[in-house]
Amino acid sequence: MKWTLSQLQKNRNKEFLIDEIVEVADIKAIDSTIRDASPMKITGRADIDSAKVTFHLKIIGHLTLPCSRTLVDVNFPINVETTETFLLKSFDFETEEEIHQVKGDLIDLMPVIQEILLLEVPMQVFCEGSSEEGAPQSGHDWEVIQEQDKKDTIDPRLAGLARYFDQSDPSSDS
């Protein structure tokens, strides 16, 4: 996913299509919550003119992330469309779209793709009805219980108070 400016300028008046599969496994070193990353299929096109190169990309693949409840692996699908513009000449103007300045004679899309993937990672991921037991369900002086089980039990510290209301009040018999 690297091109020199001269390679791109040769295709200025032609249709420049992109259809590649790239490995992004090194993203795990950047974000430790990403356990694995599938090869990403990148398709799209580039619009090339003398002042800028605009890439219209679609990124498809999946990331393996930990479930926020059970810590089991969850395949999180990635399906992102983005437009990235690289300026070939230095301009001083502001715009709302993301613009990258080309340094040297090379355009490398891999850092941009990694940034897009990192922005797609959600804060929480939940697995759907996993039969695997990921996180421990009990430990020293604790265990995971269901809410309905909790409603049926009486706290032993409050058991005496429950008996107090069962006793009849002697002053009410008069």
d(CA 148, CA 135): 21
The pLDDT tens digits along the chain (174 residues) read: 888 888 888 888 788 899 999 999 899 999 989 999 999 999 999 988 888 888 999 999 999 999 888 888 899 999 999 998 888 776 655 665 678 778 778 888 999 999 999 999 999 888 876 555 556 677 788 887 777 666 667 777 877 777 777 766 566 554
What DSSP designation does 42 have?
E
pLDDT at residue 91, rounded to an integer: 66
Cα dist from 136 to 118, 145, 147, whole Å: 29, 12, 18
Look at residues 85, 112, 115, 101 and name the one whose alpha carbon lies nearest to residue 1: 112
Residue-level pLDDT at 149:
62
What is the SS3 assignment for 18? strand
Label the pairing between strands 36-37 and 40-48: unpaired
pLDDT at 97: 64
* Model pTM score: 0.69
Please give the radius of gyration of the chain, using alpha carbons only, rounded to the nearest integer. Answer: 29
* pLDDT for position 37: 93
